[in-house]
Structure 1
Amino acid sequence: MSNKELAVSMNHEQIATLLASHAGLAQDYDHLKTRTDELQTQLDWFKRQLFGTKSERRVSPDESLQLTLGELQQAESETATEPTIKVPGHERRVGPINGNGDEGDLRFDDSVPVEQIILPSGIAADDLNDYEKIGEKKSRHLAQKPGSYFVREFIRSVYKKKAPADAIEDEIYCIPPPWTVLDRSFADVSLLAGLLIDKFRYHLPLYRQHQRMNACGVHVSRGSLTNWVHRTVELLVPVYEAQMKSILSSQVLAMDETPIKAGRKKKNPSGRSKMNTAYFWPLFGDQDEVAFHFAPTRSHSVVFELLDGYAGTLVTDGYEAYKQFAAKNAEVCHAACWVHTRRGFDKALVSDQDLADQALQQIANLYRVEEKIRHLAPEKLQAKRALHSKPIVEGFFEWLRKLQAEQALLPSSPFTKALAYALEREKALKVFLENPAVPLDTNHLERQIRPIAVGRKNWMFCWTEVGARYTGIAHSLLSTCILQGVDPFIYLVDVLQRVETHPAAKVEELTPRLWKEKFAADPIPDCLGSVGCQDGRD
C-alpha cells in the first residue's frame, strides 16, 4: 500500500497521533542536536586547553589598522648599528663577542663577587726571558656554589677584675650575647629573611630548603624552620595590618579571589580526610600596594566584612558578591573588568568564530586607544577616552543588543553567554569613561596573584588556616616590595630588627611604600654583633 493510500485509509484520530509523534520526534531531535553542539563545544574547548595555546593575546595581522587618534606620531626608527674597526683599505664590522673576548655577553653589577684565576702562560720556564708581557685577555664564566650558608661566631671576652689577695669573690665581667630577632634562637636575621624570600618569592618549600641545608652540612630540624617562619611572620602582622588599612583608603580599589587548600576536613567513615578549599582575597590599592586577605570561604559575607566602611570605586570581575555589596552601599561605585568580559568571547571562538572575532576586534580597538593614552594626565586621559573610547564602547553594546534582539543564537551557546554577561554589566563596564583613575581591567591585580598560583604547584597546600594566613601576610609585603622597587631582603633585614622597638602609632612607616621614603637610604645592616652595632640595632 502506498503512502497516499495509507493516508486515505487513516481516520483523523490516527493522523493526529502521527502528527503528535512527529512533533515529539522533532523536539527530541532539536534537543539532542543542541546537546550535541554543547558537548562538541566543550570538547573543542578541552582540546584547546590541552593542545592549543592558553594565551588570550591576539595580534592583528595588519598593524596599519591601529588607531592613530588623529595624532600621527612618526617616531624616528632607531637603527642599531654594529661597531666597526679600521683595517688597511676598508672598515670591517665587529660581530657580537661569544663570551671568550674582553667583553662578553655576561652582564653583572658590582655586588657580584669575582674570583680571579690566573692561568699558566703555556711558555716553558726556560723560555720566559725571551717574551715580554704586553697585556691580558679575560674570559668570564658564570659560576655557582651550592646554597650559601655560614656561621657567625661571636666571641666575647671574659674579664676578671684584679682584686687584692684577700678578696672573697672574683668580679667577672662579660658583655651579654648579641641581640636576636627571635628570643632564644640561633637564627640570624639574614637567615630569617632568606627563609621567607625563598619560600614566598621563589616558591621553595621548607622541606627543599631543609634538604639544601643538609647538603651544605648544616643540620637543623625541619620543625625549627617552620617555627622560625611562623614567628617571623608574627612580627610582621602589625605592618601587614597597617598596609591593609592604607589599601582600604584607596579611591580606586581592585579586588579578586583565588583558591588555596588550607586546613583538613573531618575524617570520613573510611578514615580519610581531604584539604579544605579556602580563599585568598587580594586587594590592590591606588598607591601600588597589595594585600592578600585569607578567609576559609568564598561567601559573600567576606566581601561585606572586609570592605565594611569602604567608599570609592571597586574594580572586580563578575562575581555576584561585589555587585551586591556595591548595590547596598551608596558610596561605592562598581566597575567591571573588560578582560573578564573579553574572556567569554574568546571561549566562543570554538563555536561562533565570526561573531566572536568581531567582538574581540572591537575590544582590541578599545585597548589600542588605552595603550596610546594611558600615560596622560587625568584630565587629558578622560578627554581622550570621551573622544575615542566612548564611541567604541557605545557601538559595541549597540551591536550586542541588536544580536540579542534577532534571537538567532542558541541560548546555550558560549557566544550567547558572553553576550548576556557583557550586557548585564554594561553600566559597570562604562565606569572607566567617567573616572580617569579607573583602569579597564584587573590585570594589574591578577599579575600579583600569579606567585600564589606558582606557589601552589610547589608547596601544594597550607596544613593549617593559621599557616595560610601567614602565607598571605608574607606575600602581601614581598609583592608590595617588588611593586615599590624595594629589595625584599634589605627590607626584611631592616624591618625585622626595627619592628619591636618602632612606635606602634607609626607602624605604617614600616610598610614597603613608606619604608622606601623614610628608611631605604640608610637601612639597618645585616651586622649583628659587628663593631658599631650594640644590640643588633643602631
Structure 2
Amino acid sequence: MAPTCQVGIDSADVKGYKAEVSLHEPASAALARIAELEALLSAERQRSAQLENERDVLRASHERLRLELELLKRRLFVAKAERVDTQQLELEFAQKLRALEEVAGTLGMTSGQPAEGDSDKKKKRKPSGRRDLKALPLEEKRVEITDPLFEELVAQGKAERIGFEESSKLAWQRGGMRRLVVARVKYRALGRDGEAQVETAPVPPEVLPRSLAAPSMLAHVLSEKFCDGLPLHRLEERAARDGVPLDRGTMSRWVEEAGASVGATVVAAARQQALRTAFCIATDATGICVQPDKRPDGARQPCRRGHYFVLLADKDHVFFEYTPRETSAVVEELFRGYSGYIQADAKSVYDVLFRKPDTPPTEHDSPEEVGCWSHCRRKFWEATCAKSEVAREGLARIGRLFALEEAWKADTPQTIHRLRNAHLRPHLEAFFRWAEDEYSKVRDERGLLRSALGYAVRQKQALMRVLDDGRLVLDNNRSERALRRIAVGRKAWLFVGSDGHAQSVGNILSLIASARLHGLDPEAYLRDLFRVLAHWPRERYLELAPLYWASTRARLDSRELAAEIGPLTVPPPLLPAPQQEAAANGSSR
C-alpha cells in the first residue's frame, strides 16, 4: 500500500489567518506569524515530495523484484528452449514485418516461422604387488611376441624355443572383459664361448608401460566416463559384478596418465594447427569443481572452482582447455598467435582479444569479434516477463533473421554471403535503428528491457559481423552444446582430483568431441590411438588427430592394428615432406 502524507497547513489557511490577524494584532506580529506558517507549509511540502519520491522508488524496486521472480520461475518451470509463440508474434507485428520484408526484398521467401565403512573399524591392509589375472574367470586371448633375430637363428638350428615368459593385461571388447595374455618368446642359444644363454623377446612400446590396462580397456573406461558420464565408482561396481576387483584409484591414474600422454602429443599438434589455420574459433566457458589439497591438520575444506573453455576451430577440431581462473590474462594466453574470427558472448574477459593496439602489430593482427544472436534473443525473451510490447517486437525481428538463415543454410558460403548482403543486411540495419531509438527512451530506467536493448546497441558491430563472410554463423550455440559434456560430468562425477587431473580430462574430452565431430566411434578411436601412439613418430602426431584418422587408419596393417600389443608398421606420411609442411603451415581462410 502506497504511503500517504498529511499536510496540516495549506495556503487557504494562511490566507484566512492573514485576514484574521490583520484585525486583532499589530502588523509586525501578524507578518511574523505568517512567515512562520509559510515556513511550516514549505517544510510540509518538502516532506510530502520526499515521501512521494520514496514511494516511487519502492514501487520501482517492487516491480523489479517481481520481474526477477517471474524470470526465475520461467527459467525453472518453463521449457529451457526459450520458446515463444511465433504465430502470435506474426499476428501482432504483421504489418511491420511485411514492411521489413519489402525493404529487404524477401517478401514471400520465408514463412515467418523461426525457424564407505565405519571409522572405528580397523581397515584391512590392501594387497600389494601385481594381481594374478589368470585366476579371474575371463575369456582368454593370446598374443605371441617373437624376436626376428632369434627366429632366424631358430630356423638355422642355432637356437631353439624353450617356452614363454607370460604376463597378463585386462582387455575389453563389447560383450565383456577379456584376459589378454602377452606371451614373449624365450630363447636359449649357444654363445661364442659355448655356454647356453637365455633371452626373452623385448617388451613392445606402450602408451602406459607396465599398466594393467590394454588399449581396449583403457578406451572403454574413458568412453564410459566421458561419453556416458559414469563416475569411476560405478565402473568399479560394474567390474566387481563381472568378478574383476578393479578399484577406482587405479582407473583414476589411468585417466590422468592417458590424458597427459595424448595432451602432449595429438592434442598439442592439433591445437597448434588450429591456431595457425582456423578461420573462426567459437568459444564459451563453464565452471568445474576441483578437489582441494589436504590441510596439514586434516580438516576438510570446500572444493576450489576451476574453468573449462571450449574452443571449436571451424569443423576440424574441438578443444577443452582447463584454467584455474577465468580472467582476461588467461583468455589472452589461450588465443595467443591467433588472428582470425572469434565468436563468443559479450563477457568482459574476451574484451582483451579485440582491443586494437596503439602501434601496428609486429607479428599477428588482432582477432575479429563475432557476436551471438542467440544471446541477444535471450535478453529480449527475458524482457517479455514485463509484458513489454517492445521486447516482443524484438523477438519478432530477431526471429525473422533466423528464418532467413534457415532458408539458405544449405547453400555454399559464397551464395550465403551474397544473399545476406542483399536481403539480411536491410533487416539488420532496421533492427539496430529501432533498438537505438527504443534504447534512448529507457536509457535512464532499470529493468530487463533496458538490458536487452543495451546489449543489442553495444554489440552492434559484433552482431553485424556475419555479413563479412558466408562461413560465419549467427549464433554460438554449438559451443554451449559442447559444454553439456562438462555439465553431465558435474552431475555424475562431481569434481576433478587436481589441476593436473583436470588438464588430462580436458585432453580426453577434446579427442572425444573431435571424434564425434568427424563421425568416429570415440571408444574405437581411442582404442586405436592408444595402440599406435607409442610407435608413432613425434613429428607426425597430427596424423593421429580425428580430422585425419580415417586416412591414417586406412594405411595401417589391419592385423597389426587388431592386436592389442606388439610390433606396428608405421606407414609413410600422408603427403611428401614438402607438401606435409605446406599442409601444416597452410591456411584455410
TM-score range relative to shorter protein: 0.7 to 0.9
Q: Which residue does the alignment assign to 1:322?
A: 350
The 3 A distance-change label for structure 1 pair 483 and 361 is same
- 2:120 is matched with none
SS of 1:525's equivalent?
helix
Aligned residues: 461
Question: How far apart in 1 are the matches of 2:52 and 2:311?
Answer: 52
Distance 1:494 1:174 in 2: 27
Q: 395, 403, 413: which one pairs with 2:438?
A: 403
CA distance in 1, matches of 2:289, 2:227: 19
Equivalent residue number for residue 505 of structure 2: 471
Residue equivalent to 2:563: 527
Shift in Å, 1:157:
6.6
- What does the per-residue CA deviation read over 1:172-191, in whole Å, with 9 as the maximum and x for residues that have no partner? 56545666442122311100
> Deviations along 1:186-210, whole A, 9 cap, x unmatched?
3111001111111111111111111
1:332 aligned to which of 356, 361, 367: 367
SS of match in other structure, 1:519: helix
Could you tell me how far apart the structure 1 residues matched to 2:549 and 2:280 are? 23
Instruction: Say which SS state the counterpart of residue 471 (structure 1) adopts.
Output: helix
1:444-466 deviation per Cα after TM superposition (whole angstroms, max 9, x unaligned): 22211111111111111112111
Inter-CA distance 262–270: structure 2 relative to 1 (3 Å threshold): closer
Within the candidate set 73, 89, 93, 1:47 is matched to 73
Q: 2:477 — aligned with what?
A: 443
Query: Structure 1: how far apart are the matches of 2:324 and 2:177?
Result: 37
Is the partner of 2:483 in helix, strand or coil? Answer: helix
| 1:78 matched residue in structure 2 | none
Q: Name the residue aligned to 2:22.
A: none
Is this contact kept in 1: 2:356–2:366, CA < 8 A?
no
2:270 corresponds to 1:243: yes
Give, as a single letter, the amino acid of the residue that structure 2 aligns with 1:61: Q
Alpha-carbon displacement from aligned partner over 1:288-335 (angstroms, at most 9, x marks no partner): 311111111011001111212211111110012223321135532111
The verdict on how the C-alpha distance between 1:194 and 1:14 changes in structure 2, with shifts beyond 3 A counting, is same
Q: How far is the alpha carbon of 1:158 from its aligned partner?
A: 5.9
2:213 aligns to what SS in structure 1?
A: coil
1:30 aligned residue:
56
Q: Which residue of 2 aligns with 1:89?
A: none
**Aligned match of 1:278:** 306
Partner of residue 127, structure 1: none
The residue number in structure 2 matching 1:388 is 423
Counterpart of 2:548?
514
Given candidates 369, 378, 392, the residue that maps to 1:357 is 392
Corresponding position of 2:333 = 305
Distance in 2, Cα, partners of 1:73 & 1:296? 46
Do structure 1's residue 496 and structure 2's residue 522 form an aligned pair?
no
**Distance (whole Å) between structure 2 residues aligned to residue 177 and residue 504 of structure 1:** 20
Aligned residue type for 1:277? R
**3-state secondary structure, aligned to 2:495:** coil
Shift of residue 152, structure 1, vs aligned partner: 2.1
1:61 correspondence with 2:87: yes
Q: For residue 503 of structure 2, what is the amino acid of its counterpart?
A: R
User: Deviation string for 1:479-505 (max 9, x for gaps)?
Assistant: 000001112222212221222221211
Aligned position for 1:189? 215
2:318 aligned to which of 287, 290, 293: 290
Equivalent residues of 1:198, 1:204 under 8 A apart: yes
Q: How many angstroms does 1:53 deviate by?
A: 1.9
How far residue 3 of structure 1 moved from its aligned partner, in angstroms, is: 6.3
Q: Does 1:412 align with 2:438?
A: no
C-alpha change, 1:177 and 1:309, in structure 2 (3 Å) is closer
Q: Distance in 2 between matches of 1:58 and 1:428?
A: 25
| Residue in 1 that maps onto 2:490 | 456
Partner of 1:232: 258
- Structure 1 pair 444–161 and aligned structure 2 pair: CA distance change class (3 A): same
Give the Cα separation in 1 of the matches to 2:337 and 2:282: 16
Unaligned runs of 5+ in 1: 75-144
Partners of 1:7 and 1:152 lie apart in 2 by: 107
Contact 1:207–1:222 (8 Å) recurs in 2: yes
> Distance in 2 between the 1:161 and 1:241 partners?
46
AA in 2 matched with 1:389: L
Instruction: Find the aligned partners of 1:508 and 1:374 in 2 and give their Cα distance.
Output: 31
1:344 corresponds in structure 2 to 379
Partner of 1:136: none
Whichever residue aligns with residue 561 of structure 2, its letter is P
Which aligned pairs between 1:426-441 and structure 2 lie closer than 5 A? 426-441=460-475
Whether contact under 8 Å (1:400, 1:423) holds in the other structure is: yes
DSSP-derived class of the 1:393 partner: helix
Q: Work out the CA distance in 2 between the residues paired with 1:147 and 1:208.
A: 18
Task: Give secondary structure in 2 for the equivalent of 1:150.
Answer: strand
- Give the conservation status (yes or no) of the 8 Å contact 1:312–1:333: yes
- 1:218 lines up with 2:253 in the alignment: no
Structure 2 SS opposite 1:308: coil
Residue 176 of structure 2 aligns with an amino acid whose one-letter code is S
Which of the two has greater helix per residue? 2
Q: Aligned with 1:499: secondary structure?
A: helix
How do 1:122-161 and structure 2 match up within 5 A? 148-154=176-182
Which whole-Å CA distance do the structure 2 matches of 1:506 and 1:327 have between them?
36
Structure 1 pair 59/483, CA: closer, same or farther in 2 (3 Å)?
Answer: farther
Ranges in structure 2 where 5+ consecutive residues have no aligned partner: 1-7, 18-33, 112-172, 358-364, 572-589
Q: What are the residue-to-residue correspondences of 1:38-117 with 2, within 5 Å?
A: 38-58=64-84, 60-61=86-87, 69=106
What TM-score does the superposition give when structure 1 sets the normalisation length? 0.78
Q: State the shift of 1:13 in Å.
A: 0.8
Conserved? CA contact 2:466–2:474, under 8 Å: yes
- The whole-number CA distance in structure 2 between the counterparts of 1:266 and 1:447 is 35
Change in CA separation of 1:177 and 1:389 when aligned onto 2, cut-off 3 Å: same
The question of whether the paired residues in 1 share the 8 Å contact of 2:381 and 2:395 is answered with yes
SS at match of 2:281: strand
Deviates more, 1:311-320 or 1:167-176: 167-176
Structure index of larger Rg? 2
Q: Take 1:215 and 1:223, find their aligned partners in 2: how far apart are those partners?
A: 18
How many angstroms apart in 2 are the aligned matches of 1:309 and 1:478?
A: 25
> Contact 2:257–2:504 at 8 Å: present in 1 too?
no
What's the secondary structure of 1:500's corresponding residue? helix
Residues 226/269 of structure 1: CA separation in 2 closer, same or farther (3 Å cut) = closer
Counterpart code for 1:244: R
Letter in 1 for 2:469: N
The percentage of aligned residue pairs carrying the same residue is: 27
Kept in 2, the 8 Å contact 1:190–1:526? The answer is no
Structure 1 residue 438: Cα displacement: 1.5
1:247 Cα deviation after fit: 2.1
The 3 A distance-change label for structure 1 pair 30 and 442 is same
